[in-house]
Amino acid sequence: MPWSSKPKLLSVGSFLPGEPIGNDRIEEMLGCIGGKASRTRRLILRRNGIRQRHYALDPETQQQTHTNARMTAEAVRVAARDAGLELSDVDTLVCGTSSPDVLMPNHALMVQAELGLSHCEVAATSGTCLSGLTALKYAAMAVASGQARHAVATGSEISSNVLRSANFPADDEAAEALERDPVMAFGQDFLRWMLSDGAGALWVSESAGAGLHLEIDWIEIVSFAGELEPCMYWGGQKRADGSLQGWRETSGLAESAQLGMFNLTQDVRLLGAEATRTTVAEALARVLERQPLRPDQVDWFLPHYSSEFFRDEVAGRLCEIEFEIPFERWFTNLSTKGNTGSASIYIMLDELFRSGRLKPGEKILCYVPESARFSVGYMLLTVAGGAG
């Protein structure tokens, strides 16, 4: 169903903690597991195309400098300032993340407290990369249905604190277990060089002034969790049959930690087999049945992917369904801002929105997959208004 009235994106805000960290400083910031330099770091960095990223870590002490809630609040403040609105105007706050500071209260409530907001509707969306877009869909539906005049959606991640070497097994027994299972070792080490920290916020309103803004044409979400086993997980371990054993199914926290359940892990073999097949070849084809769109109507394509390795794969899958978009219409800042998970699409939109390159009438297609259990979201935006 189309929106009865298209929600308007008035402004975008983002926050990236600390100074940019180049590839040569990652292990200095995160530390070496067991005092040994990673054997896979150079290979992974060479393929993922990320040249710099941001960590909410003190470079001297490796201690955390920001909470997820604080980073998110900073991004919201930027969006409010640029929209020319007050935080007290917010009717609905929706926050998505895969890395909340605490298990409860939920992340959105922690952000609300950080902002000092009162008397507004608050909701949190969980998941991995897609949680930021599901938060935006909730905010957009609240505005489109008339239940909110002003809604703020956020996506944010703080990955560095769980990627620090102190969180990985350094004792001989645990290290030997990882040596015996090199796929598991690579799956955990893989993510240390892929993920970083950041937050983004979008201000959604029922109306807009004459300035440059974006209209949300539609947001479509597709999940394949009923067909595929978990690919990226945190807080559990994978059984031989592909199911997950959760950390609460063990004898206690000590056993869970020893089994590596609190180390973020990716099944890289499954990722390579299914990532683009499901999220592009199958999902976009389904979306286009509901939301007719031709590739020549897309002026900007904003793909979120964890590595430049997937760039050509995504392009190939688009060709398979006869939806080829030339690379000159692609926009990504993965190389300079890193992979910030649910915040990535916000941080991309922020940079593009402020670039001065957008023209009224242009269409922006956003692609946000997540590998946790293979879900994906697509969003179509229209550039509206005059000069920003």
Q: Are residues 146 and 19 in the same domain?
A: yes
Domain check: are 227 and 245 in the same one? no
Q: Which residue in the block uniquely carries the two structure tokens 């930690």?
A: 257
- The pLDDT of residue 41: 85
Exposure of 243 in the CB half-sphere (CA atoms within 13 A)? 4
* CATH code, domain carrying 266: 3.40.47.10
Q: What is the number of structural domains in the chain?
A: 3
Q: Which residues fall within 8 angstroms of residue 166, CB to CB, at 6 or more apart?
A: 31, 62
Q: Is residue 2 domain-resident?
A: no
> What backbone phi and psi angles, to 5 degrees, belong to 291?
-130, 85
Say if residue 290 is in the same domain as residue 366.
yes
- State the angle between helix axes of 131-144 and 344-353 in degrees (0 to 180), rounded to the nearest 10: 60
Q: What's the N-to-C CA distance of the chain in angstroms?
A: 30
CA-based nearest residue to 197, from 72, 79, 109:
72
State the pLDDT at residue 171: 46
> Do 301 and 177 sit in the same domain of this protein?
no
Strand 213-223 versus strand 363-370 pairing type = unpaired
Per the structure, the complete domain to which residue 123 belongs is given by 8-209
Claim to verify: residue 288 and residue 358 sit in the same structural domain:
yes
Same domain, 28 and 128: yes
Predicted TM-score (pTM) of the model is 0.94
C-alpha angle 348-341-207 in degrees, rounded to nearest 5: 50
Q: Which pLDDT value is given to residue 175?
A: 46
Are 250 and 326 contained in the same domain? Answer: no
pLDDT of the residue at 284: 98
108 and 36 in a common domain? yes
Q: Which two tokens stand for residue 192?
A: 């240390």
Residue 248 and residue 280 in one domain:
no
Q: Are 162 and 202 found together in one domain? A: yes
Q: What is the pLDDT along the chain (388 residues), one digit of tens a residue?
A: 567 789 999 999 999 999 999 999 999 999 988 788 887 788 888 888 999 999 999 998 889 999 999 999 999 999 999 999 999 999 999 999 999 999 999 999 999 999 999 899 999 999 999 999 999 999 999 999 999 999 999 999 999 999 998 887 654 444 454 455 544 444 567 788 999 999 999 999 999 988 999 999 999 999 999 999 999 999 999 999 999 999 999 999 999 988 889 988 888 889 988 999 999 999 999 999 999 999 999 999 999 998 898 999 999 999 999 999 999 999 999 999 999 999 999 999 999 999 999 999 999 999 999 999 999 999 999 999 976 5
Q: Measured between alpha carbons, how far is 130 from 308 in angstroms, rounded to an integer?
A: 19
